[in-house]
Amino acid sequence: MAYDVVTFGEVMLRLSPPDFQRFEQTDSYDAHAGGAEMNVAVACSRLGLDSAYVTKLGDNSIGHFIRNKAREHGVDTSNVLWDPENRCGVYFVEFGAAPRTNRVIYDRKHSAISKIQTGEVNWDEVFDGTKLFHTSGITPALSESCADVTSP
């Protein structure tokens, strides 16, 4: 399929305490899917563009939750790779109430996408007819293999 926009990068589970609570205070967390590249794919889809997201997710309920969130916004997820052995990255966001700022804690070591290997994505097929490709500088910095996958 030809896409207007294809993005590539890590999407993680975001956990946030509700109602501006601090990490130390909360007994519960709201769950969301988050990642710069997925946010771009969702925004493009909302603008009426055909968008697709390429990533590697843990093949478990969290990975399926993340994939489903992209689908809810009309993003094609047919190019998602599934990893039965590694996990999805997680990040925690504590929203601050002025004057307190937001705090973020990342837990992404050994995430599925950090284990991606050259040749796992059929880029010729993904790019066939694609008008725009988007990734960020974070993706190649996740691991040596991510850097290899994003190299021309």
Domains and CATH numbers, the chain: 5-150 (3.40.1190.20)
Per-residue pLDDT tens over the stretch 93-120: 999 989 999 999 999 999 999 999 999 9
Per-residue pLDDT tens digits for 39-68: 999 999 999 999 999 999 999 999 999 999
pTM: 0.92
Measured distance CA(110)–CA(25) in Å, rounded:
28
pLDDT, average across residues 67-78:
98
Edge-to-edge order in the sheet of strand 5-8 = 51-54, 5-8, 132-134
N-term to C-term CA, the chain: 22
pLDDT-derived band at 1 (thresholds 50, 70, 90) equals confident
